[in-house]
Structure 1
Amino acid sequence: MEKTLGDIYPQELRPTNPYHPMNLIQKNYLSPVKVLMLAALLLCASACNQSDPEIPSQPNEAFWKISSTVSFAEGSSAIIITGTTGTEWSAEITEGKAWCSFSSTDFVNATVKKGTVKDGLNVLYVYYKANTGLEERKANLSFAFAGESPQMFELTQLSKEQVNLPSFKAWAELPAAKENANYQYATHYTSLSNQRIRNYSICFDKTRKAALWVAYPLHNAYLNGSGGRTDAWAFDPIVPFIYQPNCVERSYKGNYDRGHQLPSADRVATNEMNAQTFYMSNMTPQLDRLNQDMWARLETKVRANKCSDTLYVVTGAYFGANVTTTADGAGSTVPIPTNYFKVLLRTKSGTTGKQIKDCSESELISMGVWVEHRSYGNIDPPRSICMSVAEIESKTGFTFFPQVAAAVKQQNNPTQWGIN
């Protein structure tokens, strides 16, 4: 039985503070001036023995700013600390002290650090030396707010020659591997409930500066939690920077968005999980009126088909005939996809508790969509973009969902997927 993430990892519950002044400002509900006026009124009401509810304090939290996996080169990562002003905290590197430190100049004594939550941004920097070995290595950090149980953080540093290859024969969402010197396969992992789980896998084409496909499971465990949209635009630490588009500071030129293949909204359980969707390897230059309109509605339709058994998704960019170009944020030329596609696979009931490879043909449903890179208008996904997975295999040359029978990939029933 293939346990879903919801079975293995409980939902991460985080107390919310909708009335905290900083939240009111950040969500644009109130301007800073109005928040000060509100605070003055609350103080006045308190002085007059009124029964207005007390504004709750901000919850104490700590999380990786971008990712718990870093490249082989020396550098630093960061843990963001939020909480009630004045709360004391302590951190200790418990494993990896020889190469990991809270100081960029002292890798002997700076393995313990204490502090107090202050107003504004609180950051705990974690510095690491270059990994000259042949294998990845891990450091463990213990972090605790005063009076609370310690929280464990794991930092994984890759080796120089290492990539995190996907488990092609084990994960149902993965297409079959295809040999090409220009392709780089990689899987990004993330932490959830103190476990290391897969986030998504890519087939990155170095000549196109884009992933030809991004494969990922979709389940409530990836959607329910304390995270949100991070806008943490960054280079992928696994793919060499020279092959990635440089849109960290600004988008592509022209009317092109930094279009996610794995949507940010599909990964909001934790901030680390979401931040990895902002890697440049997950981006393509996507026409703004496609990205923000029909494509966004299509992503919502896909999310609506999640199930307890897990929905398996592959999103891809296709470069057909007459490819045109634009420039990335740094002015370098990048090709523009002529088409986008998605292929979907899940159990029909959504509650079999079986692995995909153990399901009969009658228990599985699949579908594909093939999208021209143009504006469709702000409409729901039309039936005209729907086709079978087998047809998209024929167009792209990739073999999707190799664990299932060919008959399953011949299906094309849009209504079954909520597309009318």
Structure 2
Amino acid sequence: MRLLNSYYKATLKFLLLTVFISCIAACSNDDSNGGDSSQSGEAYWKISSTVKSASGSSAIIITGTPGTIWNAEITEGTTWCSFSSNDLTLSSKSGEVKDGLNVLYVYYNSNTSKEQRVAKISIQFADQEAKVFDLVQLSESQQNLPAFKLWAEVPDFKENANYQYVTHYALLNDKTIRNYSICFDKTKKAALWVAYPIHTAYLKGSGERTDRWAFDPIIPQSYQADCTLKSYGGSYDRGHQLPSADRLGTDEMNAQTFYMSNMTPQLNRLNQDMWAKLETKVRANNCSDTLYVVTGAYFGAGATTTTDGAKNTVPVPTNYFKVLLRTKSGKTGKNIKDCSDSELISIGFWVDHKSYGNIEPPKSICTSVADIESKTGFTFFPQVSSSVKKQNNPSQWGIN
């Protein structure tokens, strides 16, 4: 009996000690969490911070810890921007993050002036520092032309009534930077070239593949292929010219790579196999000085057609190409125009629109920038000499 009483007493002491320790741990956890201090949130434009001149709306996606309070305010542009389609004076709004999709819509009137305009939207989560988002609305006649002769990657301007030149910009660390530039051919419903810089700032960051297929907001929709809901007909993918994987700095950067103006009907077995491996090779040549790239589609003799996702007829490229330029060391700290010929390297890739199999890029597709200039009629990398553009050394670029 004494042994039994001793057993019960020991058990009771153990249970009381366990409860005591649990209470201390719970109090400790409450103190360390600091109540709502664990709440956080993020926000980003669903598609782009640049919109066309016509009236409409743009969406900001809100994510974070469920229950986190957010407050939004239009601090500039209240005469033409609002958080309500019915009340154009509504310049502030608040809410809390919920499970699922959280969307803040910004509505804007048409811009009939000759100048673009900028609205600023401030969003603050709980006690976090407020973040400011720019909404740029283009003017009626604005095209957002590339900075010809200034940016190293942009080819020379070529006059053609069917061409539309456009540069897309994105926010990075609260600064507006160029994302990519295009020469869009309205008769081909595709870009003949897409020019872009590659640097770590573009490749790595908070972004991910968005799959936000959308029309380019600057180019008239009637000239673009409609693959926003489904791909081209037959065995053709929605082939990026500027790869999605080259723009993971932010979601906005990445979403812009899904514009229809960046797409062509590309054979799935080319797009997913050798071409994808070539894109990886290109990224591997990223450097501190910046790698400059132009990717293009060529519509030669015998070009065929397919249909877009809406059953409209669209031409199919006969060839694709890439031209690359960078400094040899990758760390000169110089602009391209200030480099000597001996400090620069370049190469071109000319690809037939066919399946090569799931192989690494072969030497047979390697050529010079000068050769691709003669094939396409475009002048690439106008800041460098003709001797630099005659180079063709595949091993320098990791192709053996």
TM-score, scaled to structure 2: 0.91
Alignment check: 8 A CA contact 2:81 2:119 kept? yes
Structure 2 counterpart of 1:325, one-letter code: T
**Aligned-pair CA distance for 1:58:** 8.1
2:361 pairs, out of 373, 381, 402, with 381
1:342 pairs, out of 312, 322, 325, with 322
Please list the CA deviations of residues 306-325 of structure 1 after superposition, one character each: whole Å capped at 9, or x if unmatched: 00000000000000000100
Per the alignment, residue 375 of structure 2 pairs with 395
Per the alignment, residue 104 of structure 1 pairs with 85
Per the alignment, residue 120 of structure 1 pairs with 100
Q: Distance in 2 between matches of 1:208 and 1:116?
A: 46
Q: Partner of 1:93: helix, strand, or coil?
A: strand
Q: Distance in 2 between matches of 1:177 and 1:75?
A: 32
Detail structure 1 runs of 4+ shifted over 4 Å in the superposition: none
Alignment check: 8 A CA contact 2:40 2:68 kept? no
Per the alignment, residue 83 of structure 1 pairs with 64
Per the alignment, residue 311 of structure 2 pairs with 331
**Aligned-pair CA distance for 1:69:** 0.1
Per the alignment, residue 16 of structure 2 pairs with none
Q: Distance in 2 between matches of 1:394 and 1:240?
A: 30
Please list the CA deviations of residues 156-184 of structure 1 after superposition, one character each: whole Å capped at 9, or x if unmatched: 00111111000001000011000000000
**Aligned-pair CA distance for 1:223:** 1.2
Q: Distance in 2 between matches of 1:220 and 1:249?
A: 31
Q: Distance in 2 between matches of 1:117 and 1:381?
A: 47
**Aligned-pair CA distance for 1:331:** 0.5
Please list the CA deviations of residues 80-116 of structure 1 after superposition, one character each: whole Å capped at 9, or x if unmatched: 01010100000000000010000001112x1000000
Q: Distance in 1 between matches of 2:40 and 2:47?
A: 20
1:239 pairs, out of 191, 202, 219, with 219
Structure 1 counterpart of 2:73, one-letter code: E
Q: Distance in 2 between matches of 1:196 and 1:388?
A: 33
**Which of structures 1 and 2 has the bigger CA Rg?**
2
5 Å-filtered alignment, 1:181-330, equals 181-330=161-310
Q: Partner of 2:257: helix, strand, or coil?
A: helix
Q: Distance in 2 between matches of 1:168 and 1:132?
A: 27
Identity %: 73
Structure 2 counterpart of 1:226, one-letter code: S
**Aligned-pair CA distance for 1:372:** 0.1
Per the alignment, residue 13 of structure 1 pairs with none
Per the alignment, residue 8 of structure 2 pairs with none
**Aligned-pair CA distance for 1:340:** 0.1
Give RMSD over aligned pairs. 1.7
Q: Can you give the 5+ residue segments of structure 1 that lack an aligned partner in the other structure?
A: 1-45, 50-56
Per the alignment, residue 334 of structure 2 pairs with 354
Structure 1 counterpart of 2:371, one-letter code: E
Kindly tell me the number of residue pairs found equivalent between the two proteins: 370
Please list the CA deviations of residues 184-223 of structure 1 after superposition, one character each: whole Å capped at 9, or x if unmatched: 0010000001100000000000000000000000000001
Per the alignment, residue 73 of structure 2 pairs with 92
**Aligned-pair CA distance for 1:59:** 5.0
5 Å-filtered alignment, 1:36-55, equals none
1:178 aligns with 2:158: yes
